[in-house]
Amino acid sequence: MIEISKFIVGFLILQGSLLSLIAAIGVVRLPDPYTRNHAASKSATLGIISILLGLFMYYLLIDHHANSRVLLGIIFVFITAPVAGHLISRAAYNTGVPLWEKSIQDDLAKARKHEKSR
């Protein structure tokens, strides 16, 4: 039983750290702030949720107590990390950071020009 518990915890934590590594590679290699934000806010959020779920499973299965603060941390990260990504991406667009030069469509700029001309 304890070996199966250790296998579950190890799998969850290894998966979370690999997702975090994928997020970091995406942030280094992608071309503009919006795509980097896409990589960072999605993969890093799923990675941290997986690692915290592994920690919760460790306390539950091996230490035999359910730690509610870890669950609170999971819920908090799940709610706030995409909001932070949205806010920083909107701030980047409003301060005039350019898109990647190979991107072909900018609907928000079109809509704003339409709004201004009306």
Partner 1 sequence: MFTLVMTISLIIVAISTLLFVYRLVKGPSTPDRVIALDAIGINLIAITAIISIVLNTSAFVEVILLLGILAFIGTVAFSKYLEKGEIIENDRNQ
The footprint of partner 1 on residues 73-92 (CB under 8 A) is 73, 76-77, 80-81, 83-85, 87-92
The dihedral built from the CA positions of residue 105, 108, 27 and 53, taken in this order, carries a sign that is: negative
User: Is residue 46 part of the contact set for partner 1 (CB under 8 A)?
Assistant: no
Q: What are the backbone angles phi and psi of residue 64, rounded to the nearest 5°?
A: 60, 45
> How far is CA 26 from each of CA 21, 71, 86, rounded to the nearest angstrom?
9, 28, 18
Interaction site with partner 1 (CB under 8 A): 6, 9-10, 13-14, 16-18, 20-21, 23-25, 27-28, 33, 36-37, 40-41, 44-45, 47-48, 51-52, 54-55, 58-59, 63, 65, 67, 69-70, 72-73, 76-77, 80-81, 83-85, 87-92, 94-95, 97
